[in-house]
Amino acid sequence: MNKDNITRLPAHSPAGEKRGAVSWVQCGACSEWFHVTEGIISRGDVKLHCNHCHTEFLPPEAKKIVLA
Amino acid sequence: MSDLRTFLQEESTHVWRPAGPVGLFQEITALQQALDARQQYPVIEIAEPRRADGSVSPIPVVCNLTASRELTARALGVQDHRDFAATYAARTANPIAPRIVSRAEAPVQQVVLQGDEASLLDLPVLTQHALDPGPYLTSAHATTYDPDTGVDNTAIQRCWVKEPRRMSYYPYPASHNTRNLRKFWGKGEACPVVFWIGHHPKVLLGTQAKLSYPESHWAACGGLLGEPLRLVPSITHGDKIMVPADAEIVIEGWAPANVFEADGPFGEYTGYMGAQVAAPVCEVTCITRRERAIYHDYGSGHADMLVPDNMAMEGKIYSMMKPIAPSVRRVHVPVSGRRFHAYVSFERPGIGEVRDALMAALAYRRTKAIIAVDDDIDIFSDSDIMFALATRVQWQRDVITASGLQGSLMDPSIARGARTVEKAGIDATLAPSEVPGAPRPVAPRNSVGQEALDAAQALLAGIDTKGWPQL
């Protein structure tokens, strides 16, 4: 996995603080964002599908990935 | 015999048939959204579904089939939808075994399309929401079987049509269909699967019965039908996977071992877009259908899909609570709470009875918050529930919370990285009487007398109140 394009959000929340659980991918082709499960990223072998431009690409080819 | 057509006939005065073509790309779902906002829930039949290329599909689309509680309850012969839970619990507890018929007796196999003749693209599949990546089957009932016992399982699964003979589909990780899939894949084998579409709401609700594993839904469908469900062997899998003979459309195929593709984002029951997941695929071998098939679509996240699922949940919750708390009267899983909330009314519960019942129902995977009220509260009114919460609850005393329980991971409020959820049971009943024959030691509600109320209604009758200020 290309670690350079991944930002991993902190795993734990201080008590009482809300932190979201959704992971986002920025498409390398159109730069739009779409949300994914952490599982599809960690597998590494499933092509992601941009629901905006319909480009398919593996996680290392994403512009950015923000993992919750 | 009951099927989709007999239901449309039974409720013919509640079917709306818009004139002219309506687009499969969001337009049909937009009609549902607009009607939901107006709180109007007719069955919708689109005779001329328009594809993206402008052509009209010869297969009509029916949606909003079960958007109305009233119609859905009446489909089961329940005249008052508020009494649905008890009836559903009783009938699914008295299953009737299915009956196997020949192919000649099975309308769903009037047309058999195999190999390259079978094309998912010939079906009028909707793209419902703006961020959906493509067209999805939303009323496809996926049937698989446990290879160890041969017992089948059926559940609705979203299916993204990608190619004429290929679609991804998403069995929830904790589901019985996933267990079956994993068993086949564990042996290095493709998982046989069929998806059937279109039937009478009695059968659709039977497939929603919450059963143990492995346990077939066919007998539960029979319990709701009051007669055996007619089944026919599938073309591809023979008697290993039966399909309802009186369904409209069947898609047969295999899920190749350990093959995953991206699926979603998809507009889900939560009212949010479900995230993209790695999902199995189905390689289609055969499509069978009636000669003049009707395509059934559930408006995902709309009353259309929430109502039948929630009503089946009401039956399950009733059957979990009633043996523990005989004072349980009615259960409502409101559309406003998606599938997360349940309201339960009690008639003069004994000390501790409400909390016992809350503990029992919190164990049900789908519940997140259960609110218990007295039977003077209308559990079909969110406003009444808010009144009970405002005036009958002290939070520390009356709220039971539990964490680390199974629940929906699609809940957008879930904690980061969590695989379980937090739940709450709220006792919003009034304190009981402690002296036999004496009133409860709480203040009575204020109200006007019935005679005065009748007089007020008579005075208002016939007056045009249109345009009067709202709350």
Cβ A51–B133 below 8 Å, yes or no? yes
Q: What is the pLDDT of residues B102-144, one digit of tens each?
A: 999 999 999 999 999 999 999 999 999 999 999 999 999 999 9
Task: Give A14's pLDDT tier (boundaries 50, 70, 90).
Answer: confident
SS (H, E, C) chain B: CCCHHHHHHHCHHHEECCCCCEECECHHHHHHHHHHHHCCCCEEEECCEECCCCCECCCCEEECCCCCHHHHHHHCCCCCHHHHHHHHHHHHCCCCCCEECCHHHCHHHCEEEEHHHCCHHHCCCCECCCCCCCCEECCCEEEEECCCCCCEEEEECCEEEEECCEEEECCCCCCHHHHHHHHHHHCCCCEEEEEEECCCHHHHHHCCCCCCCCCCCHHHHHHHHCCCCEEEEECCCEEEEEEECCCCEEEEEEECCCCEEEECCEECCCCCEECEEEEEEEEEEEEEECCCCCEECCCCCCHHHHHHHHHHHHHHHHHHHCCCCCCEEEEECCHHHCCCEEEEEECCCCCCHHHHHHHHHHCCCCCCEEEEEECCCCCCCHHHHHHHHHHHCCHHHHEEEEEEECCCCCCCCCCCCCCCEEEEEEEECCCCCCCCCCCCCCCCCCCCCHHHHHHHHHHHCCCCCCCCCCC
Band (pLDDT 50/70/90 cuts) for residue A2 is low
The continuous run of DSSP H or E covering A40 comes out as: helix A38-43
Q: What pTM does this model have?
A: 0.93
The H or E element containing residue A38 is helix A38-43
pLDDT digits (tens, 9 = 90+) for B217-249: 999 999 999 999 999 999 999 999 999 999 999
Q: To which residue do tokens 């094309």 refer?
A: B119
Of residues A13 and A51, more confidence is placed in A51
- CB-neighbour burial class of residue B449 (10 A; exposed 0-12, middle 13-18, buried 19+): exposed
> A interface mutation test: which of B411, B416, B422 has the most A CBs within 10 A?
B416
Please classify residue B172 by burial: count the beta carbons closer than 10 Å to its beta carbon, then call 0-12 exposed, 13-18 middle and 19+ buried: middle
For chain B, residues with pLDDT lower than 50 are none
How many percent of chain A have pLDDT more than 70? 96
In sequence order, what are the residues at sequence separation of 6 or more whose Cβ sits closer than 8 angstroms to the Cβ of residue B234?
B194, B240, B241, B242, B243, B250, B252, B286
- What pLDDT is stored for residue B211 in this prediction? 87
Residue-level pLDDT at A18: 87
CA of B134: which chain A residue's CA is closest?
A51
Distance from CA of B115 to the nearest CA of A (A): 27
* Residue A13: pLDDT over 80: no
The count of C-alpha atoms lying within 13 angstroms of the C-alpha of B47, restricted to the half-sphere facing its C-beta, is 6
Spatial separation of the C-alpha atoms in residues B63 and B297, rounded to whole Å: 5
- pLDDT value for B40: 96
Report the pLDDT value the prediction gives residue A1, as an integer from 0 to 100.
56
- The mean pLDDT of A55-62, rounded to a whole number, is 97
Please report, for chain A, how many H helices and E strands are present, in that order: 1, 6
Nearest neighbour of B262 by CB, restricted to A13, A21, A49 = A49
Tokens for B203, please give them.
Answer: 């059968």
Confidence of residue A35 (pLDDT cuts 50, 70, 90): very high
Residue A5 Cα, gap to closest chain B Cα (Å)? 18
In the prediction, which pLDDT does B60 show? 98
Q: Return the residue in B167, B276, B414 with the most chain A beta carbons within 10 A, the one to mutate for interface testing.
A: B276
Chain B residues in contact with A45 (beta carbon < 8 A): 260
For residue A46, the 8-state DSSP code is S
pLDDT at B249: 98
State the pLDDT at residue B193.
98
B273 to chain A: nearest residue by CA?
A35
Judged by DSSP in three states, A39 sits in helix
pLDDT, position A15:
82
Given this model, what pLDDT does residue B173 score?
87
